[in-house]
Homo-oligomer: A and B are copies of this chain.
Amino acid sequence: MSRIDGRETAADLAAYTALLEISEGLGLSALLDRPEPFTLDEMMAASALMEPAAGHLLRALLGAGLVEQGQDERHFVPCADMADRRYAAGYLSWSLNANRPYIDHAAEFLRDPDSAGAQYQRDGRRVAVSSRWIGSFGFYPGVVSEITGRKPRRIVDLGAGAGGLLIHLLATLPDSTGLALDLSRAACEEAQRAAQEARVGDRFQVVERSVESLVDDPSPVRDADVIHAGFVMHDVVGRPHVLDGVLRACRSSLADDGCLVVTDAVPYAAGERERAFSALFTYLHSSSMDVRLPTEEDWHEAFRRAGFTKVSSTPLPMPGSRVFVAQD
């Protein structure tokens, strides 16, 4: 009767995302991301669920194929492509969960962005979790290989959040030291804790400050071999003299042969691979976050104004994202 065709990819992605969000909310992501099998008891301990509730959720994860039966009936194994599924889920979760207030109140944001912005905020945890899921393949691997390939002794991460990228870099580069700068006290505390846990705490420094503050006091970036800024510089582009000041502070503080690595999104990337998500990303930043993303040319000009002479720009897998490397 009806054609049963292949168009249900969307149904699979939606189901994986909903079940991964439910599992994340129950504290089960660590179990689902590890390669070792887990037991129902471990699932109950991690989620504080009792039977039959825990078994109920496990049945759904097994049914969906996110988890498979292990070698015996007590053990369960996350599916082999969990990392790919979490990456894909990141896009759905960022677009439809983290940005929910901007979708539900789109008319108000379009008509009166200031008052809508004062009234409706995103949930920081939803933004952080979904951004991390996107980043897992969308931009972290590209940034990490760009930075580790340079074997920097000192790395500074601007807008470091909970420190995930820098901690990973220091674990990979055992002779390097790093500084994480972030405006948020909660993020800084979490970064300090995570660095201790990852045993890089003795090479890891946290500074609770804004990126803008580097204009007046560039000491956090002094003598860095690599300064990284991921999706944070676009917050200051609305004030061009601040952007210029930050870029100049970075350039004059870099060690010899050091470089500034900026990961950010360009507006309305036009290619088929990028255009849909890039359009949503650009629209939401502009309509609801008061951020006009600079174009690739804007970035090149800003780097040149600050005195950088060698600037490259490379697309990363996240549609619209670019990694800029500025030197000299």
**Residues of A bordering B, CB below 8 Å:** 1-5, 7-19, 21-22, 25-26, 47-50, 53-54, 56-57, 59-66, 84, 87-97, 99-100, 103-104, 106-107, 110-111, 137, 141-142, 145-146, 268, 270, 272-273, 275-284, 286-287, 314-319, 323
Q: How far is the CA of A320 from the CA of B315 in the complex (A)?
A: 39
**Which residues of chain B are within 8 angstroms of A66 by Cβ–Cβ distance?**
276
Which B residue sits closest to A27, measured CB to CB?
Answer: B107
Closest Cβ–Cβ distance, residue A264 to chain B (whole Å): 15
Q: How far is the CA of A47 from the CA of B111 in the complex (A)?
A: 11
Q: Is A22 a contact partner of B279 (Cβ separation < 8 A)?
A: no
Q: Is B64 a contact partner of A275 (Cβ separation < 8 A)?
A: yes
Q: Is the interface of A mostly helix, strand, loop or mixed?
A: helix
Q: Is B11 a contact partner of A106 (Cβ separation < 8 A)?
A: no
**What are 20 sample pairs from A and B whose C-beta atoms fall under 8 A apart?**
A1-B316, A7-B84, A9-B13, A12-B277, A13-B91, A14-B94, A14-B96, A15-B91, A15-B279, A17-B92, A18-B103, A25-B104, A49-B111, A54-B110, A57-B283, A60-B282, A64-B275, A64-B280, A66-B276, A92-B92
Contacts A1-B142, A2-B145, A60-B283: A277 and B7 contacting too (C-beta < 8 A)?
no
Which B residue sits closest to A2, measured CB to CB?
Answer: B142
Q: How far is the CA of A10 from the CA of B283 in the complex (A)?
A: 18
Contacts A15-B280, A26-B107, A278-B63: A4 and B96 contacting too (C-beta < 8 A)?
no
Q: How far is the CA of A282 from the CA of B61 in the complex (A)?
A: 11
Q: Is A2 a contact partner of B92 (Cβ separation < 8 A)?
A: no
Q: How far is the CA of A283 from the CA of B21 in the complex (A)?
A: 14
